[in-house]
Chains A and B, each alone.
Chain A
């Protein structure tokens, strides 16, 4: 009698542990835990703190309503850093994607040399995020750096890149564009998928090289352009290491990219509540931009359904 019940309960347990609902949650458990603890709770906390004067070490957190958000609009450093970040994103992302697409198109024919070339062009994006390369970049554009010594040799005057408010952002933009490798490889994979028959048909109709590029290659790649555009825009908005190491935000906040600004407010000046409000403002700006990209994509992204 007793064994029978324990047997049946054992069976139901076995059934339960092997049921899809349980197996699914067991396998997904790491993500569910991580999502709740490292994403959801922090988001809610950040939302709450953005309405407070919270800082590390103060005992009492005072709810100050919209005060943080109000002072966002009077913050000159913030508006400057937002504008500079927008400039950085608007210049670096298109430049990077244009390079990526161009080089992918040039290196489309499969051969042994081409795969070596591809590695050459891919390398910068592989190591570009490292501190080592950022320090080299700083030295390249230093007052007596490599860039200026080339300029002198060809008869131009030296440029004080990091001393000039207008110019300081350009080495950073150039560095981002320099790392077009991973986008290039994604484009290259997309290029391989375009049926050769499309090109043959176009040739029969007398299309030239550039026409083929704009009429066939670009439309066929447009979903991949969209993917790269969204991903690169998001990561460009979050650029931190390069600005932190190369310029530290200077001169006169001319390279104070938004992520660096948030970091400074939170960990340098210990204004945690204010920094949370700043990051929420950033989230709204980025969501709007991503939304706009997706909205306009209707007009320039061709899906397979449209083609047939």
Chain B
């Protein structure tokens, strides 16, 4: 009986781990591809360990296109992502505070509007948004990629509101008796306590913005302003033969920030999505 249990346990771990490896195999294959030469990649071998590992793909890939190196592309990506993420946290927490803690006329109305924007497919407003920026002379440029993130993102406002439900109202009331205004309550009580929700927001928004392809595709046109995601796609666009090794090398580099944040904040992330996403 005991043996049977042990065998089942081993089988469980082998199966789960085996399937898990299959799940991330494409990613591992890409990383190993960044150390292979093109001929070896195109042969489509399963093997993850390159015959002759070489770093030259990284050197050729880094050179980029037409004199613009990947240093520029990554710097652009970082700039857009960091500023937009900062804007999302700031604006979303302000809006979440007003919608969950302050009783004012129109609160229900704006809350409904927020839920509607969460369900609204982006394609419906993509074209007119583009036209507005175009008329204002902001295309091409970074403003369309950043400005909307300072206006609160519905998904994160909703998450933060869910989280705020868990912060006791007594804290607000005690602060009010001590003479704190609503502005002080937000900055000294709510915001510090909101930290777990803020961390989740930072992580998810960072990923979304870092991976974003359509935005830069629409709003950027000069190679010097390209983000990494646009630049990586250029490898596949080039008129001559695609340099797969270089493409995979730069793809691997572009995933490093994502992996790093994942490793550091893994616990926060899993808890954050789990707890704040759904209750209520």
Contacts and interface: CB of A to CB of B under 8 A. Distances in A.
B188 interface: no
B274 A149 contact: no
Interface residues of A, number: 92
Contacts of B104: 20-21, 23-25
Given A23-B104, A127-B255, A131-B232, A137 B26 contact: yes
Contacts of A259: 123
Nearest to A130: B211
Given A107-B16, A136-B29, A38 B232 contact: no
Nearest to B124: A279
B113 A35 contact: yes
A149 B121 contact: no
Contacts of A244: 213
A16 interface: no
A296 B19 CA distance: 34
Contacts of B129: 38, 42
A190 B121 contact: no
B54 interface: no
B278 A140 contact: no
Contacts of A49: 127-128
Interface string A1-38: 00000000000000000101101111111111111011
B110 A32 contact: yes
A263 B183 CA distance: 43
B123 A262 contact: yes
Nearest to A235: B121
A230 B126 CA distance: 21
A135 interface: yes
Interface stretch (B64-72, B167-175, B244-252): B244-252
Nearest to B25: A146
Interface string B148-170: 10111000010000000000000
Given A35-B117, A240-B214, A189 B274 contact: yes
B218 A267 contact: yes
A106 B132 CA distance: 49
Contacts of B29: 136, 140, 146
Nearest to A287: B119
A178 B94 CA distance: 36
B278 A41 contact: no
B42 interface: yes
Contact of B102 (A24, A132, A227, A241): A24
Contacts of A238: 121-123
Contact of B17 (A18, A117, A283): A117
A189 B207 CA distance: 21
B23 A31 contact: no
A23 B102 contact: yes
B152 A144 contact: no
Interface in B25-55: 26-27, 29-30, 33, 41-46
B151 A46 contact: no
Interface stretch (A73-81, A88-96, A162-170, A180-188): A180-188
A101 interface: no
B80 interface: no
Given A122-B270, A126-B258, A136 B30 contact: yes
Interface in A133-191: 133, 135-140, 142, 144-146, 148-150, 153, 178, 182, 185-186, 188-190
15 contacts: A18-B181, A27-B186, A35-B151, A42-B128, A120-B17, A123-B23, A136-B30, A144-B42, A144-B44, A185-B270, A238-B122, A267-B218, A279-B123, A279-B127, A283-B120
Given A27-B102, A282-B124, 13 more contacts: A25-B106, A28-B98, A30-B151, A56-B131, A120-B21, A126-B207, A127-B255, A139-B33, A149-B46, A182-B273, A186-B274, A224-B278, A244-B213
Closest 8 CB pairs of A and B: A34-B151, A24-B104, A189-B274, A27-B98, A132-B251, A120-B20, A42-B128, A45-B128
Interface of A: 18, 20-21, 23-35, 37-39, 41-43, 45-46, 49, 56, 106-107, 113, 115, 117-124, 126-127, 129-133, 135-140, 142, 144-146, 148-150, 153, 178, 182, 185-186, 188-190, 192, 224, 227, 230, 234, 237-238, 240-241, 244-245, 258-259, 262-263, 266-267, 272, 275-276, 279-280, 282-283, 286, 290
